[in-house]
Every structure is written in C-alpha cells, then in structure tokens.
Amino acid sequence: MNGILPLYKERGMTSNDCVFKCRRIFKMKKIGHSGTLDPGVDGVLPICLGNATKVVNYLMDSGKVYTGEITLGFATATEDLEGKIIARQKIVQPFSEIAIENAMKELTGEMIQIPPLYSAIKVKGRRLYEYARAGDPVERPKRKIRVDYFKQVKKTVYDSEKNLQRIYFEVGCGKGTYIRTLAVDLGKKLGVPAVMSELTRLASGGFTISEAISLTDLEKAAGEGTLSRFLVDSDHALQNFPHYELKSQEWEIVKNGGFLEENKLKKLFGKAPQIVLIYGKKVRCIYKLNTEKKRYQPEQMIDLSEGE
C-alpha cells in the first residue's frame, strides 16, 4: 500500500507513537512521518506509506499553519508548559493589542532562530535534549527560518489575580520553525518572560486539520477493509513541480538512472530546477537540472515498477 495519510495526532502522543500505531493498523513497516509534533501538541501530521516515504522531504518543504496561546509572565526550560519554571515577572500593566501586534510583525519574514535546548536537533551525534538532561554544555546551532505571518486571532486576556496575560495567535511558517521559541521571542520583544501554553497544527504538507483522520477512524476502517480510501497519492507532495510524461524510449533510459538532455525539455519548462517524471500513469521519479552539464539527472527515484 502506497500513499500519504493526513493523520490527526492527539495530545499525549509522540509522532513516533503515531508511526508505530499506523504500522500496526496497516500491517506494514515502511511508514514515516513528515515533521515532528511535540507530545503536548495536536493537529495535522502527514504520514507516508510505502513508496510515498520517498517524498517526505518534499512534504516538509511545504508551509505549516499553527494556532495557539502564549502566556506572558513566566518562562520555562522547555519553552512550553512541560518544563520547569526558570523566570517570573508579574504583568502589572497589560500590553495593548497594538503593542502585541507590532511585536508580532517584528517576528515575520526571514530570520535566524536558535532552537530550544529541549529539542531533537543533533549536535555532534547527540540530541539537544540529551545535553540538557545530562547538564552538559552545548552550543545550539543557528537556523534560518521563515515566518509568513504572525497575528492575533482574538483579544488578549489579562489575569489580574495571577498577573499573567494570554495572547491567542495564528502563525504561518516554513519548515524548521519552532513555535515555542517564537513565543519566547515575542516575550523578549515585549520585555517579559513568555511561554507557549497551547498549540495546534492547523495545516501541514498541503493538508488541513479538517482533512485529518484520527487513529480511531483508522482502526474502524481497518476492520472494514477500507483503509485505502484515506490515502492520497504521492504526487500530492509534488504538485508544485512541473510534470513530464515520459515516452517509452525515455522510460527505458530513466528507469536505469540515465540522463535527459536539457534541450529536450527546455521548450516545455525553461530551466526548471526539478521535474516530476511520469510513466504509465505513475509518478516515477524527480529529476534535477545540472546546469553545468546541461542535463536532467536523478534526484529521487520513487517507483520503478513495471506496468501501470
């Protein structure tokens, strides 16, 4: 079975938990997810099965949309509610809507972000959270991220008893963006400690939360023998690339990893950096342009099986 499953991940589960459960439900091992969601976060988690695992990176390149809550007045070691509180500051005078909006605008566009210490990014073969738990020093790598928009979705709420302020937001961003860190950075812009107190992923890999399927529904479909109806073709991840239908003689070249001359495709696609190649109504592979050698060559082989 091949395809992409827009799964709804519940809170309290890791992304790997979801993969393990899907392997049991679909009774197959070749399954992977595209973009980790922390245990305390729910929402869209695209799962790739079979040959679709070869397009995971292309799914991850697509934008993501999140909604959630940021609390001003304290900060934690993990930048969410799972961690130990490391800073407090009473919010005596609540921030205005305009002040919050202006700070959010300053956190849009391309920027450099330092990921959380409690994250799965590897440095010298170890995950950052392993350094954190062991108390070992480590320099976190700086990463270029893109935030398309960062806005409030309803009025901020001030808790005068606890001297806290809550901000309700939506953010559209590129891959690799840590929303926890964005929440902390918003607090820094406002001059107070902050924490991401709630988060839901609304969209990922071109799927929205309304399209996502729960594990409960998958279990039911497995019993009915209708699991395949939830799968989307691998080409969903490649829809923004130009597509080319191979002729029989070209397929003979491509299935053996051969090259296609740039001149043959230039009239159709100009100098497109990547082209999806189709044969027998199947997405077969992705070829990339080698400008120096003026040819298209394999970037990712997907399905080399014979027949339609």
Using alpha carbons, list the distances in angstroms from residue 267 to 93, 271, 272: 63, 9, 11
**β pairing state of 243-245 and 274-279:** parallel
Residue type at position 48: C
Instruction: Write the CA distances from 144 to 112, 141, 173, 177, 240, integer angstroms.
Output: 5, 10, 12, 9, 23
38 in active site: yes
Do the bridges between strand 194-204 and strand 42-49 make them parallel or antiparallel, or are there none, so unpaired? Answer: parallel
Which of 38, 42, 80, 235 is catalytic? The answer is: 38
Residue 241 sits at φ, ψ, to 5 deg, of -95, 150
Residue whose token pair is 């969209």: 203
Q: How many residues does the chain have?
A: 308
> Pairing relation of β-strands 31-33 and 42-49?
antiparallel
Taking residue 289's Cβ as centre, other Cβ atoms within 10 Å add up to 22
- For residue 145, how many C-alpha atoms fall within 13 Å in the half-sphere facing its CB? 25
Q: Count the alpha carbons within 13 Å of 14 in the hemisphere toward its beta carbon.
A: 6
Rounded (to 5) percent helix, strand, coil in the chain: 30, 35, 35
CA dihedral 249, 250, 251, 256 (to 10 degrees): 100
CA distance 297 to 126: 34
Place of tokens 């976060």: 41
Catalytic center residues: 38
